[in-house]
Amino acid sequence: MSKHGLPNRAAAVLTAKHDELASKRVTIGLDGFVDEIVSVVDMRESARRFTRVSTLSAFANRVGQAAGKGTNVELVVTKVKLGGNGPIMANALAAFGVRVTYIGSLGYPTIHPAFSELARRATVHSIAEPGHTDALEFDDGKLMLGKHATLKDVTWQNLKKCVGREKLLESFAASTLVGLQNWTMLPHMSDIWQHVLDEVCPRLPKRANRSIFLDLADPEKRDPRDIRQAVTLVGRFQKYFDTYLGLNEKESLEIGRVLGYDGPTEGESAVKTVAQFIQEVIGISAVVVHPRAYAVAADGKKVTLVRGPFTPKPLISTGAGDHFNAGFCLGKLIGANDETSLQLGVGTSGYYVRTAKSPSAKDLAEFLQSL
């Protein structure tokens, strides 16, 4: 069938499986951020009106020109929302109607108001205070300014204290999908993965179609030795789960370089090649890479590419990748192949960046049919 019919076919699969979603259980963790979405003022016209700096390159030029002199930059907060790879992904999965358990840094002992919607939609267990991000958004990208000090409290010891190893095992065992996100910003994540592999995974009941989705989240600042250790741990999950590693384009090249990739670095062919390289090194079910305009999945046999409903002027961009991850995982929850799962991923992201809302399953199906 024509590739042009893929959105309609994906919508049809989702519609046919809609009634099954309420029976699907997922467990997601482990980070948590309060995100402030910020516009940078270019020219202020009045107390209420201003024009924004529209591109990241223009902002970079302004900052560069201030070297040796100094400058003043006015920031306008346009929205305060839940943030972090895990909470955004979990909230999006909950919007589809999936039964979600979330474990992470949402505020301790009291959950921060930014996570109230997630707390209504899902079962939540918070083990630490959230981090904070000022997300400066532009038409051509975003600059994430993070405050991460509280994330040092996301540890295996706090997981055992606040959730309990047996409850964690129970949650994993009942879930069709597990997601442990944001390795880069959680300094103890490798240790947590190690304990999960040693103390939880061997006790999981044997069953088919149990998946885990892992997202390293921009590992550029981490030591290459730590990255290699994390990638080794990702590979070990394949013994117990169908394992998927999600990366954006920049992250895929960073991971590829650490693993010895020396192939092309520009264009679609490079994205496909590096995804295939990483998958072959790790030996997991698939490596999924999502640039802004398309997404690919390399599963060891082939590399599948699906184009997305790209928009050059998104209403919001922070969280777009996490919504892609949620849509892709929705596909795996309903037993879809990589191509359909990628289409659900880019569709979910496309809907979100246009509306600043997580779609329901019905919303997503209708959006795909409209393409």
Structure tokens at 123: 């079962």
**pLDDT, tens digit, 9 for 90 and up, residues 14-47:** 999 999 999 999 999 999 999 999 999 999 999 9
pLDDT at position 4: 60
**pLDDT, tens digit, 9 for 90 and up, residues 123-167:** 999 999 999 999 999 998 899 999 999 999 999 999 999 999 999
Mean pLDDT on 114-126:
95
* Cβ-Cβ contacts under 8 Å for 11 (sequence gap 6 or more): 364, 365, 366, 368, 369
Number of neighbouring beta carbons within 10 Å of residue 362: 13
**pLDDT, tens digit, 9 for 90 and up, residues 185-207:** 999 999 999 999 999 999 999 88
End-to-end CA distance of the chain: 17
Q: Which residue has the higher pLDDT, 190 or 220?
A: 190
Domains of the chain: 3-37+80-370 (3.40.1190.20)
- In sequence order, what E strands does the chain have? 25-30, 33-44, 50-52, 75-83, 99-104, 123-126, 131-138, 141-147, 177-181, 211-215, 242-247, 286-289, 294-298, 303-307
pLDDT at position 209: 87
pLDDT at position 3: 52
pLDDT at position 207: 80
Distance (Å) of CA 123 to CA 94, 104, 189, 191, 347: 10, 11, 22, 24, 26
Task: In whole angstroms, give the CA distance from residue 317 to residue 356.
Answer: 8
pLDDT at 1 over 70: no
Q: Please, what is the average pLDDT of the chain? A: 95
User: CA angle, corner 160, sides to 159 and 165, nearest 5?
Assistant: 110
Buried b (16+ CB within 10 A) or exposed e, 43-71: eeeeeeeeebbeebeebeeeeeeeeeeee
The reported pTM is 0.90
